A and B are shown apart, each in its own frame.
Chain A
């Protein structure tokens, strides 16, 4: 019996970890290509959730149906953010870069509160509501769909970077911007692309979460801190590192919370973070 509960907890950890991975993939991609930490990344996720919510409330369209639309909107938002804000701070001191993305975080939360009120919203009875019982283990269908969706989305990003010409150009820019320019690769466009893809990843995570997680203006805060832990654990700039680190963090959080009590969840995750910084600061798959 205890074994079953532990297995159940473990798999729940994996499912939420897959979402953490997807959020972190976007964050790590932006960092990898530009060396800029995007503090407003959780707000991209929040916009993804609200996009699902409003399309569901106003037009009765299921989040999974409107996923492509939300992805496009978030991709466009990433490009706009790059053009309006990030482009101006590429060569700025790190502190200015931090303030710029931190400021965006505050702005986006404020806008969401102003237009959509600070209330908790939920999406009831989406396609993916329901339960799945498998070998005596119980799972919410939304969590399973979210986990599978996160795998597909992370896989798509991995495929893009490793198997396409444009993805190789993005990776080349991340590894050596000047050398990439010598190959004829326009850095500015690669930066914009990284922001578009990064925002879209967070948006997909938001959509997948929207059918089982409350939607409110500060929801990004729940994920950004964990995403930083995942990025550091996986190695800054590594997509596959973020994937495995996301799963590890999800499992550590859920299993640790189950064993020690849910109030210690974040303490356990952050202890892991400190441990990583002390023992292996370059992360699991990061550059030394």
Chain B
């Protein structure tokens, strides 16, 4: 049984279709990348898993449970966490408060402290800046905070929407390394990226979306070697 399974989902914005009949499987322990150009429907699919977008058709199944109708705020407690596009931090709250809000669904104070330490181990800069207001961090620091906050929910599946968006190339490497590190600790990753090459390099498997449909699927390696992908997205 897959950890996450999107079954023939369709998403519409004001009746304009954004995603048609998309099916995606994510197995426990994997890194799965959803890649494609602008407006391909990658973010829409992630938001549907998180419950922020209603699906017009199809099912979202997480750990064998149909969560299609579960409201967004109740999904976090089930073990999935979304680091949204554009980071969406609470800009006027401190780094530490942002992190603690990530653990809103959890009650065990000692375990929350452990997660906080874990986030600080992954991103030591956040510890230095723990009292600083999130809105004043640099783009890269904000992305680290967003990932740290997403991990504070202690998810089994961490979804990341464009983690390389708007940050320096050197930091992109650091962020992607950390994602692999998080994955190695047992957390399943579903990654959306426009930086297709980097995403497929770290992914076990990938899906290529184009105008709301899956046009290709395969292992990260196979997709990178695929001439169509190389031509259309990698400029080779």
Contacts and interface: CB of A to CB of B under 8 A. Distances in A.
Nearest to A178: B52
A184 B77 contact: yes
Interface stretch (A23-31, A109-117, A163-171, A195-203): A163-171
B73 A185 contact: yes
B76 A184 contact: yes
Nearest to B81: A182
Contacts of A172: 90, 93, 101
Contact of B104 (A165, A175, A176): A165
A183 B101 contact: yes
A169 B101 contact: yes
Contacts of A178: 52, 72, 84, 88
Interface in B73-90: 73-74, 76-77, 81-82, 84, 88-90
B90 A176 contact: yes
Contacts of A180: 90, 101
Given A168-B97, A182-B81, A176 B88 contact: yes
B199 interface: no
Contact of B101 (A168, A186, A187, A287): A168
A180 B91 CA distance: 12
Contacts of A184: 73-74, 76-77, 104-105, 153
B174 interface: no
A287 B149 CA distance: 23
A181 B72 contact: yes
Interface in B181-220: none
Contacts of A80: none
Nearest to B105: A184
Interface of A: 165, 168-169, 171-172, 175-176, 178-187, 287
25 contacts: A165-B100, A165-B104, A168-B100, A169-B104, A171-B90, A171-B93, A176-B88, A176-B89, A178-B52, A179-B89, A179-B90, A181-B52, A182-B50, A182-B52, A182-B82, A182-B84, A182-B88, A183-B73, A183-B101, A183-B102, A183-B153, A184-B73, A184-B104, A185-B73, A185-B101
